[in-house]
Amino acid sequence: MGSNGTTTPSLPDTSHLDGVNYLFGHPIAHSLSPLLHQTVYDNLGLKRSQIPLDSTDIPHFLSLTKDPKFFGASVTMPHKVAIIPHLDEIMQEGKDIGACNTIFLKQDQNGTRHLVGTNTDCFGVRDAFLQNLPAGKDKDLYRGHPGLVIGGGGACRSAVYALQKWLGCNPIYIVNRDISEVTAVLTDCKKAGFGDSLLHVQTGAQASLLAAPGAIVACIPNFPPKTPEEIEARKVIEVFLRKEEKGAILEMCYHPTPWTEIAEISKKEGWQVILGTEAMIYQGLEQDRHWTGKGLEELPSKEVHAAIAQALAARH
């Protein structure tokens, strides 16, 4: 048993590896993260692996970071906030978003290793848009246009951060069925210094009076709206999608299928649909940038895309 009463999973033999990192979270059975990183390491000729650690035992995870072979970790739910106090340092984007999904090591002049946390989810959102620009368009396509984020959870904060900081969207509309979640997002983002342009759009009538967004990030599960709040939120989304000006929508939901109801409506209305696997891939490549010291252009992006597409196809 782990120190907090949870079962500690047995781990595979790593004696043949030069380096290990962990995917630390619960539940993680469906995660494509280990496949993504293995594809990177195999293509770079590195004897490394990401080991799934399906656990809620933070002290046990921290003990694994002492292993000389340890070089980092992907951190997922429910640990993205809880892990922060255990880190030696957190980078600005992790501080601002209030969540850590990546740990890498920094060595000081005495050779002591320090755990550094960051958030690469926001880079995943940024690069999903920038790496999928329509032909002939440059990266300033979205600058000065409104952005729209659908949802109110952790992914929503990363999306707001990316749309404002890198894509230059202004203002940023928030649409969500739960007012208390939106209030929390507005409060957190303002406190972190990137929430002043946020606008909660609550009704279809309100949406009809606003300028069309250029970039949309949908951060909600794929299900048909049932409650009055869900039905109104869907109406707001549809009003924005039907406006004359069209842009790109990143549909973050890719499990169990990357093609959602919102993606289908968006395509019918003439929007460019970017699948959530793009954000997942680019946040993972940003992690490997920290773990390998290589730039994005040096990492095997094409091979990773092929491996993820094949894995998703095998699930259906």
First-to-last alpha carbon distance for the chain, in angstroms, is 36
Tokens of 1: 């048993």
**CB-facing half-sphere around the CA of 214: CA atoms within 13 A:** 19
Cβ-contact 104, 118 below 8 angstroms: yes
Residue 75 CA, distance from chain mean position: 11
* CA-only gyration radius of the chain, Å: 20
Cβ-contact 72, 104 below 8 angstroms: yes
Q: Annotated catalytic, 106? A: no
Cβ-contact 21, 69 below 8 angstroms: no
Cβ-contact 147, 214 below 8 angstroms: yes
Q: Are strands 102-107 and 70-75 parallel, antiparallel or unpaired?
A: antiparallel
3-state secondary structure of 103: strand
Cβ-contact 237, 177 below 8 angstroms: no
Backbone conformation region of residue 193, classed left if phi is above 0, alpha if psi is from -120 to 50, else beta: left
Of the candidates 47, 66, 69, 80, the residue annotated as catalytic is 80
Instruction: Name the strand (E) or helix (H) holding 80.
Output: none
* Phi, psi (degrees; rounded to nearest 5) at 14: -115, 15
* CA–CA gap between residue 174 and residue 195 (Å, rounded): 11
Tokens of 91: 């980078």
Could you give the residue numbers annotated as active site? 80
